Amino acid sequence: MTYLPSPERYNKMQYRRCGKSGIKLPAISLGLWHNFGHVDVMENFRSILHLAFDSGITHFDLANNYGPPPGSAETNFGKILKEDFAGYRDEMIISSKAGYTMWDGPYGDWGSKKYLVSSLDQSLKRMGLDYVDIFYHHRPDPETPLEETMGALDLIVRQGKALYVGISNYNAQEAEKAIAILKQLGTPCLIHQPKYSMFVRDAEAGLLDVLGKDGVGCIPFSPLAQGLLTNKYLHGIPEDSRAAKSTGFLQESQVTEEVIAKIKKLNTLAEKRGQTLAQMALAWLLKDDRVTSVLIGASKPAQLVDSLKALDNIDFSSEELEKIEQILK
């Protein structure tokens, strides 16, 4: 059966301007970090992609190493793009990144021009694309001069392999320098992707101010703190959770009694707002107009449906915000 997108898709989503650019992004974007690799079920992630597009999600976020195995998320996305979304490429923002280990030897990691250009060439082949809309440097490289890394991003845009560039995991000082270099080169930084949630607040230590001042968009990843900001951990650690397996980025040791107590209080507040905890956590990020979009993952369509309901209420009273701060202290 041929996939036909919902004709109503653009009426269902809020779109927000990305910094001082011509680009608007959906308030919720879909990240393919997990659940889209060769180890996953294609029919499941195909359904997630269809639902996302039908819901007005136009932005799909990938990276060279997403899978598992690394590279497989791009390969699978490329396959579905070709089979189901062939006529809709121009309605999509597709992003990729490089900066973490991707292949052996000295040229498969970090921030050299050699690595970034080679990696994007590989990503484009895997996805069957001529260009990506956004290409990010995935993390700062302490050894490569920032001028070289930003020069590579500028080159990639001039080669027509990306329309815009961004940075990810840079702190306020690093971001400010990178943004200044890109501006000087004539390829402005479109967007920054930091780790940011109610539980991880580093972005508030100057980074959001830099982005606001320089007109750069912001798209937080891990907005639910690896699942902590959901109702999954209200009664301790479930057996099938990431924390129980301790294989991923969330370790069992992080889910302390103190953390569970905070989750319970936040959940009570969310219920009063007519939201799930996850919906409130996403709305809480979107209350800041410097945040362009929030990047979510989904392991099944129902999860995506739940997250999208966050957009029904992104307004907070000053009392609610104060209460959240008290809980998080």
The predicted model scores a pTM of 0.96
Please state, in angstroms and rounded to a whole number, the distance separating the CA atoms of residues 74 and 306: 25
What are the distances in angstroms from CA 327 to CA 190, 198, 256, 270? 34, 10, 15, 13
Identify the pLDDT of residue 236.
76
Which residue type is seen at 212?
A: G
Identify the pLDDT of residue 256.
87
pLDDT digits (tens, 9 = 90+) for 223-263: 999 999 999 888 877 777 666 666 566 777 778 889 999 99
- List % helix, strand, coil for the chain (3-state, nearest 5): 45, 15, 40
Give every CB contact of residue 145 below 8 A, 6+ residues apart in sequence: none
Across the chain, what does the average pLDDT equal? 96
What does 190-206 look like in DSSP terms, one character per residue? EEEE-B-SSS--GGGTT
What domains can you pick out in the chain, each with its CATH number? 9-227+284-312 (3.20.20.100)
Identify the pLDDT of residue 146.
98
Residue whose structure tokens are 């900066």: 99
Question: Which has more pLDDT, 35 or 245?
Answer: 35
CA neighbor of 42 nearest in space, from 81, 9, 7: 81
- Binning pLDDT at 50, 70 and 90, where does residue 278 land? very high
Please state, in angstroms and rounded to a whole number, the distance separating the CA atoms of residues 303 and 50: 14
Please state, in angstroms and rounded to a whole number, the distance separating the CA atoms of residues 135 and 62: 10
User: Does the pLDDT at position 125 exceed 90?
Assistant: yes
CA neighbor of 313 nearest in space, from 14, 9, 48: 14
Are 300 and 234 contacting, i.e. CB atoms less than 8 angstroms apart?
no
